[in-house]
Amino acid sequence: MHPPVSAVRAARIEHLDALRGLALLGIALVNVGVFASPWWGLGVPDPAFSAPLDRIVAALVATLFEMKFYLLFSFLFGYSFSLQQAAAARAGQAFAPRMGRRLLGLWLIGALHAALLFHGDILTTYALMGALLLGLSRAGETAQLRIAHGLIVATALAWAALGALAWLQPAPAADAAAQAQAVLRGFTGAPAGVLAARADALTSAWPILLALQAPCALAMFLYGHAAGRRSLAARLDDYRPLLRRLRRVGFAVGLPAALALGTIEAWPASEPVQLWVLALSLLTAPLLSLAYAALALPWFAGGGARIADRLAPAGRMALSNYLLQSAAMALLFTGYGLGWMGRISPATTLAIVLTLFAAQLWLSRAWLRRFAYGPVEWLLRAATIGAWPRMGKAAY
């Protein structure tokens, strides 16, 4: 006897939550580098941690996670957007005002997150790109996919052009050691100094984030929205040929570029080469992210069901967990707390993130036994509906 369709759909939505939980881990493994090392983003490895194990860990993180998991999260954002849009249509409610309030709430949360905890915040970018998705959400699937393809190609070409410019007109070599020392002093000093250092970092980080992440995030929103329109997660059996193609093409095209990115992370090349590898990664990372999703979702529905069950609660309160990760890392690595920046090896940093994520899995399950929403999800829902939702399980 087959389970009812509603039960199957609920299980498949849980698989999306599990995928979102997995994306949280990948995001933490990348973001911790910004907190842990003053050399992050300077194009030069930290000379204090240049042992083979340190370089291998850095290369693996860059290869498997960097520039892939925020895209996976972006895909899920677009998928969830389509579910909310469909729910509003079924209820006969206007969708745009509610989503507009939700995006404004998300932007405010992201702005506070960027100012207080992490200047690499993605939430403000999501809010801005979500507003564009709102405008594009009524377009046909073909138009959406063409726009998504165009955004990825245009972004990759722009960064490749920057690489060509750097090759034709080399810039004077920057003093990376002096820059790293300035970052270290700023982020490990008194809390007021940390805030000032973060404000300085924001001025340079936001333009790069908008130029680097925003177009690809919007492209993945559009891919996710198209998948949500088709109810792909609830109809995995119908889309097995598509999932196989995504895995085959995504890994074949994306892994070589990811390996190149991991290689220059641990053994850096010249600035033009770094920019060209970045451009190649921008072009191929969306395919690799989709391949990850095409691999994980069927696995969650089969042999990985128990893993999915462990991951799903963290994914259901992903916003709260994302902010909690930043708060924990700020307490560990900056002057807010222990000030470990520059003192912890990549391997130890990896162990810290895995321990933190394991704690989040336990905490998320415990929280959702009592409450219907994560704490920040509850605030965001209040902004969305214009009223205070009930926090207890009775809300369901």
List, for residues 53-100, the tens digit of each pLDDT value. Answer: 998 999 999 999 999 999 999 999 999 999 988 888 887 888 999 999
Residue 395 is predicted with a pLDDT of 42
Cα–Cα separations (whole angstroms), residue 45 to 50, 207, 213, 337:
7, 23, 23, 25
Residue 174 is predicted with a pLDDT of 66
Alpha-carbon span 222 to 130, nearest angstrom: 10
Q: CB of 73 within 8 A of CB of 20?
A: yes
Residues of the chain falling short of pLDDT 70: 1-12, 171-174, 394-396
Q: CB of 223 within 8 A of CB of 75?
A: yes
Alpha-carbon span 271 to 277, nearest angstrom: 10
Q: Which amino acid does the sequence have at 130?
A: G
Residue 20 is predicted with a pLDDT of 96
Residue 23 is predicted with a pLDDT of 96
pTM: 0.93
The first and second tokens of residue 88, run together, are 């509003």
Residue 4 is predicted with a pLDDT of 42
The first and second tokens of residue 145, run together, are 């996919």
Alpha-carbon span 272 to 278, nearest angstrom: 10
Q: First vs last Cα of the chain: how many Å apart?
A: 28
Alpha-carbon span 66 to 97, nearest angstrom: 34
How many Cβ atoms from other residues are within 10 Å of residue 123's Cβ? 21
Alpha-carbon span 69 to 65, nearest angstrom: 6
Residue 171 is predicted with a pLDDT of 66
Q: CB of 27 within 8 A of CB of 64?
A: no
Alpha-carbon span 36 to 271, nearest angstrom: 23
Q: CB of 293 within 8 A of CB of 23?
A: no
Q: CB of 288 within 8 A of CB of 295?
A: no
Q: Per-residue pLDDT tens for 132-153?
A: 999 999 899 999 999 999 999 9
Q: CB of 322 within 8 A of CB of 27?
A: yes
Q: CB of 125 within 8 A of CB of 214?
A: yes
Q: CB of 71 within 8 A of CB of 285?
A: yes
Q: CB of 320 within 8 A of CB of 23?
A: no
- 302 secondary structure, DSSP code: T
Q: Which residue blocks in the chain are alpha helix, DSSP H?
A: 5-36, 52-64, 69-91, 95-116, 123-136, 141-168, 176-188, 191-212, 214-229, 240-266, 271-301, 305-316, 318-333, 346-370, 375-385
